Chains A and B, each alone.
Chain A
């Protein structure tokens, strides 16, 4: 069974808008996450995040990989140590992840552009509040202290699992995180339909609460990613898309990557290493596709790319998402 997303389609721009304005101008694809009580904004030029790729997995292409992420204008989650070999001009926006059940890392907290406090332990075995916090009302003071430890101008987010009770999400929201990350936990089980329905519910709720939402799913297609963006998700993790381009997935990456590149219509010989060229091409294709999608829907920016850009082709999808029915 496919998800509820299949019952949603993009609506073309209304004739009341001057369509050619959107065709001629490139829409703004960026989003901003602000640190509470600070004027500092962390800007994403693309609403994507690379969460799980580290120097060990990317290998010797890591500095070029970081440069590509920076060039494309989105963020990466990695430890600060892994940037030692990366020149300052190639360092992308960096998020650090601090897990419950572990001491906070002073170096990470003081150097990151974004801090995500995960309510999962580092093995991903358990979700929950840290034992030392114990009560959910202490999460707010904890985040305040963490914000203070990060000099007060770094956005602090909380990672919770998809499938969290809506009341739990409200409790976490009361702690006033600067953003929320929703991660899909495989143990949640369920079909793609269940997952997309849960994401839609969370996106709706976080939009009402006014908290930016980062979505961390392990397998989201480009079309679905764009629909999630229209449904209120602010940033989407796209590791699974990039991963397939990396050398660790193929024995002879050059041949594999050349094949992938030609399938994208790229015939020029790669000038960097094949894998990084492929990643760069892939990201560019996502950027262009998103740009075209916004133009199609008549959205000048991601903030205009909302529920009005979607139509539901079933009453079930309409009631779940709030999108207008396709007529």
Chain B
């Protein structure tokens, strides 16, 4: 990622509250964040990967920058928040996410954005298998490589894969759209390539811009399930 791209994702330097999480559990961090004011900025450091459910259920409209790796099921059912992770995330990051934005600078484990209902997740590193699993309304962008079965059982929402895909892309998918740059090792038989209309191009441009990723939209192919 270029420096200008990173700059776009950085939180503005206004009154940042720093929280040392070295000795705190997810509950204690949740209590601190739950008491945060709207539009505030937070910086969390010293996280251990074992912390499950970081930021789960948070409703505050704020910005949180996290330095370090985040455990499994982070940001589950979160609403409104803007989360930026300078590290890796565990399995099912953004599970059932309702709204808000999550940006992960490194890699994501399996099932990132599983059961998402809204909001936006951008993973600037790689994502393991089944990213966007059963996504039902959120938008996901993976900048680097993804594992097999990306977009499996999606019913709504958009999945942008900016660097190819593994096997069985979109298996079991009944709705939503996959924008793919590069090639997929194999595509599920229920998927077909569609011509990108203006609305699709605009949508893709918006998602790329939202993640701060540059890209020529002409390099992308649009996949949708047959009969939709």
Contact = CB atoms under 8 A, between A and B. Distances in A.
Contact of B115 (A132, A138, A150): A132
A102 B57 contact: no
B44 interface: no
Nearest to A109: B77
A103 interface: yes
A248 to B, nearest CB: 32
16 contacts: A104-B95, A104-B96, A106-B96, A132-B95, A132-B111, A132-B114, A132-B115, A132-B133, A132-B134, A141-B72, A144-B53, A145-B72, A145-B74, A148-B57, A149-B77, A151-B34
Interface string A105-132: 0100110000000000000000000011
A103 B57 contact: no
A141 B98 contact: no
A132 B92 contact: yes
- Most chain B CB within a 10 A radius of its CB, from A101, A106, A110, A147: A106
Nearest to A150: B57
Interface of A: 37, 101-104, 106, 109-110, 131-134, 138, 140-142, 144-152
Contacts of A131: 130, 133-134, 153
B102 interface: no
B115 A109 contact: no
A145 B133 CA distance: 18
Contacts of A133: 92
Interface in B118-160: 130, 133-134, 136, 153
Contacts of B184: none
A152 to B, nearest CB: 5
A270 B31 CA distance: 49
A134 B109 CA distance: 13
Nearest to A102: B115
Contacts of B34: 151
B71 interface: yes
Given A132-B111, A148-B54, 15 more contacts: A37-B27, A103-B117, A104-B96, A106-B98, A131-B130, A132-B92, A142-B72, A144-B53, A145-B76, A146-B53, A148-B53, A148-B57, A151-B30, A151-B34, A152-B31
Interface string B56-73: 110000000000000111
Most chain A beta-carbon contacts within 10 A, residue among B54, B96, B134, B153: B96
A151 B130 contact: no
A286 B223 CA distance: 59
A223 to B, nearest CB: 43
Given A106-B98, A145-B53, A152 B27 contact: yes
B169 interface: no
A146 B76 contact: yes
Contacts of B79: 106
A229 B24 CA distance: 40
B77 A132 contact: no
B94 to A, nearest CB: 11
Given A103-B96, A131-B133, A149 B53 contact: yes
Contact of B116 (A103, A109, A138): A103
B56 A145 contact: yes
Given A132-B134, A141-B72, A149 B114 contact: no
A151 to B, nearest CB: 7
B92 A149 contact: no
B162 interface: no
Given A131-B133, A132-B95, A138-B91, A106 B53 contact: no
A61 B97 CA distance: 36
Contacts of A149: 53, 56-57, 76-77
Nearest to A38: B27
A134 B56 CA distance: 20
Contacts of B36: none
A106 B57 contact: yes
A141 B34 CA distance: 20
Contacts of B98: 106
Contacts of A138: 72, 91
Q: Which of B77, B92, B98, B117 has the most CB of A within 10 A?
A: B77
A103 B116 CA distance: 7
B26 interface: yes
Contacts of A144: 26, 52-53, 73
Contacts of A104: 76-77, 95-96, 115
A105 to B, nearest CB: 8
A138 B115 CA distance: 16
A134 B74 CA distance: 17
A146 B56 contact: yes
A106 B77 contact: yes
B38 to A, nearest CB: 18
B23 to A, nearest CB: 16
10 pairs of A and B residues whose beta carbons are closest in the complex: A145-B53, A149-B57, A145-B73, A141-B52, A148-B53, A103-B115, A132-B114, A149-B56, A148-B56, A104-B96
